[in-house]
Amino acid sequence: MDFNSKFGKASRDELSVARDELAQMFAEREALEVEIAKQQRRIAALAELVNEGEEVDELLELNLGGLSDAVRSVFRAASAEGLTPTETRDRLTHLHFPVNEYKNFLASLHVVLKRLETAGEIRKAVHDKHDGRDNSVYQWVPKYEFSKRLKGRFERRLRGRFERG
């Protein structure tokens, strides 16, 4: 057994373990982000019930960030059934996101949805565009699913590299 094959196998094994650990960490982070998004939604709903005006708005401090981050939070908290653009807007409104500050909010939302879809963060579960209206249903794609795809791609690349030598 030569030097490269002996240490190459050990390095591959260690790399595989490290990748598995990272994938697990991503899955745990994703689960925590989902729980945070659900808690934000719960607080917003309770604030509506309490209806204590500006004091509640100040206490909420949901830290939703910009539109893209707020949309991510909404989709993380959504069920696996997904959301239409209109349902997404309604959920943002319930989270006290300032949708009224946009000249054409739905147009901005569609741009964000397309960007998130292109990036693989959401997927279109039901394609329903007609008469200029988009009633498609979008779903959140957990990051750990993306990590599994990346892991498979790297393993195929590494396998080819070590099998050639």
Q: What share of the chain is helix, strand, coil (3-state, %, to 5)?
A: 70, 10, 20
Give the whole-number percent of the chain exceeding pLDDT 90.
18
Please check whether residue 2 is in contact with residue 165, taking contact to mean a CB–CB distance below 8 angstroms.
Answer: no
Query: What is the number of structural domains in the chain?
Result: 1
CB 162 within 8 Å of CB 8: yes
CA distance 79 to 67: 20
Expressed as residue numbers, the domain containing 142 is 3-164
Question: The whole model's pTM is what?
Answer: 0.57
2-56 tens-digit pLDDT:
545 555 666 778 888 888 888 888 778 777 877 777 777 777 677 667 665 554 4
Nearest residue to 44 (alpha-carbon basis) of 60, 32, 59: 60
